[in-house]
Amino acid sequence: MRAMSLLFPGQGSQAAGMGRDVADADKDAMELWKKAENISGLPLREICWEGDEKAMSDTKVLQPALTVFCLTLWQQLSKHVSPSACAGHSLGEYSALAAAGVLDAETTLKLVSLRGALMAESDPDGRGAMAAIVKLPLEKVEEIVASVAEETGRVLIVANYNTPGQYVISGDKDAVDMAGARAKEIKGRALPLAVSGAFHSPLMKEAADQLAAHMRKAVWRKPSCPVYSNVTATGLTDGESIRDCMLSQMTSSVRWIDIIRTQYADGQRSFLEIGPKAVLSKMTGRILEGVPAEEYTSSVVSTLEQAGELA
């Protein structure tokens, strides 16, 4: 079997029709979609497979839907691929945990369904917001965030370290707007994100605490390979450490740049994204810019046909 580092994407990587080819060809995959629907209480197949992209982008729908897609595709790939490491971007970390054997599929779907519902309902007053800041180096983004937070006394953090030159800020809407304006003043760009709250910030604490109560009841097994944490960007090799990091994942930054660089430093040379689009594959290239192309591979599998090509 081929050894590869598995990467699982998060919110924003969804695509209409995702996973239908796998489920139509494999009864176990179809049963897992049905189980996800029973757990979430949502008609996931109807929403995803009939092309209702607006409904699919709803956080409470997307989180179980994208996760079950990743799990069913991994079921196919696991016949040909052995994970040498696993990592997932935000929501994708749950799929990574399932692929590494830390959580079983049912527990994973229960946690992401609850996570999606909690995040969708976390900000009924519209207090929080997120924006992608591009075309600025990290030090400038962190400088803006620190100064705005200090001046306003509002919550504002760098929530996602996606690639050099692409960072996501999260917090109180007025602080996010102010930081975006300052980024534009120094020739950066601020792109507001269509989200229902200030994800990966302290404003998620109430939702995170509710999810944590369920996490503590779950069985967290020793992973079959290192799982690189969003919180620490290090490869974790025991279930207890993984659980402890996951308890704070919803309120902590996603350190994706460091995850990829640390994996490379740890000897990973073959990266495989399991997701509807090549979101993380493109990011890997930007993160490892300067590394000779012949020294690593980065690919994506989105369909049953592509999974079979790895046989």
Which two tokens mark 201? 């910030």
Residue type, 191: L
Q: Which residues of 294-311 are buried (b: 16+ CB within 10 A; e: fewer)?
A: eebebebbbbbebbeebe
Catalytic residue among 5, 13, 84, 90: 90
Of 278, 261, 307, 285, the closest CA to residue 77 belongs to 307
Task: Specify whether 90 is catalytic.
Answer: yes
**Residue 281 annotated among the catalytic residues of the structure:** no
Strand partners, 7: 87, 273
Catalytic residue among 5, 40, 200, 252: 200
SS (H, E, C) the chain: CEEEEEEECCCCCCCCCCCHHHHHHCHHHHHHHHHHHHHHCCCHHHHHHCCCHHHHCCHHHHHHHHHHHHHHHHHHHCCCEEEEEEEECCCHHHHHHHHCCCCCHHHHHHHHHHHHHHHHCCCCCCCEEEEEEECCCHHHHHHHHHHHHHHHCCCEEEEEEEECCEEEEEEEHHHHHHHHHHHHHCCCEEEECCCCCCCCCHHHHHHHHHHHHHHCCCCCCCCCCCEECCCCCCEECCHHHHHHHHHCHHHCCECHHHHHHHHHHCCCCEEEEECCCCHHHHHHHHHCCCCCHHHCEEEEECCHHHHHCCC
Catalytic residues: 90, 200
